Amino acid sequence: MPAFSLEPAQTAWCAELRTLAADRLRPLAEKGEPGRVNRPLVAELGRLGLLSRLFTSGALDLCLMRESLAHACTEAETALALQGLGAHPVHAHGTPAQRDHWLPRVADGTAIAAFALSEPGAGSDAGALDLRAEEATGEGPARWHLTGEKCWISNAPEADFYTVFARTTPGAGARGVTAFLVPADRPGLTGAPLDMLSPHPIGRLDFDGVPVTADDVLGEVDRGFRVAMGTLNLFRPSVGAFAVGMAQAALDATVRHTSRRDAFGGKLMDLQAVSHRVAEMALRTEAARLMVHAAATAYDEGAPDVPKRAAMAKLLATETAQYVVDTAVQLHGARALRRGHLLEHLYREVRAPRIYEGASEVQLGIIAKELYKDTDKDPYNDIDTEGESL
């Protein structure tokens, strides 16, 4: 079963991706400016055919791509993932005209996509969006004008288009949000980069009466929250795959270091306190990988519990990666804190996935909600574990 044992062709493909990432993508990543869109890197992902696979592959293949790239080049992994995150709503919900115009350019790496959901007051609580889509008055093609701010948006403000979620019905919570495809050259749309701990591009966007039309809607009016959650259900397990790739890179580096480093008359690995910690790192990494694969397979098979599985996979894998990278730094000592060391890089990268696309606490909330949502239909919901009525 692919959730637990990859086919030989999949294993070979992962090895090929790791080699491509090391040989062709990492040199481009090293030439890029941290915190800015690296267009040569994105273009190379397009030339290698990896971006087009975002629209033809299932969730498991997406996870294999993200884990394999992250193992050798986190910048390449992030560039690929952000193209997918920003463009997937167009692929899944766009009109033929929207898809024909933007998706080929995303696939060949000549157009940069972005997913604009978070706001200064609506990060984890995505249903509390304040960006207003106000009905347009007077003549002209615009049906709405977008007014407000988006923040912590990956690829902003350098993207060529944004999938933007705005409130079309005040006071309706998640049921009053609409998704729009907004080209970056729309009047009234400006932005600025943010200086963040992680090195990938993140910025804010300001909307000052940005005009949008009915042709810019993705999906249906007031149904944009479904567009957002459908995208996140696909990408959350693959965030876990990104985390697993970083954890595996940290684990591999630690095995090499502890097997070669002389200490106390032997090698570091000869110390039981060290070897047992390395074993724990390996155990947790493999457990996270299996849960990611299982969640992705559930998505591909159309299982009914995808939201719960996706949240579990993202939560376990990102928390695991934080533990593994931190432990790797500890076992390497001061050398791992030096700027430019692999683990120094991973230590800055690994923190953000525990927050974006739903913080760990949000994932716990999703899991709990899914566990309890059918209790009112369960004839045994008033019986405790001892069989006595509550």
Active-site positions read 357
Nearest to 277 by CA among 254, 249, 259: 254
| Residue 241 Cα distances to 31, 111, 211, 234, 385, angstroms | 25, 25, 37, 12, 36
- Encoding tokens for residue 132? 């207003």
Helix (H, G, I), strand (E, B) or coil at 329: helix
Q: Which residues contact 274 (CB under 8 A, 6 or more apart)?
A: 258, 268, 331
Query: CA Rg, the chain, in Å?
Result: 22
Cα 1 to Cα 9: distance, rounded to the nearest angstrom: 14
* Strand spans (E) along the chain: 113-116, 132-135, 144-154, 161-167, 177-183, 189-193, 202-212, 217-218, 262-263, 266-267
Q: Which residues contact 279 (CB under 8 A, 6 or more apart)?
A: none
Helix (H, G, I), strand (E, B) or coil at 384: coil
Nearest to 162 by CA among 170, 150, 177: 150
Cα 209 to Cα 206: distance, rounded to the nearest angstrom: 10
- Encoding tokens for residue 99? 């898809």
Residue 284 CB burial class (10 angstroms; 0-12, 13-18, ≥19): buried
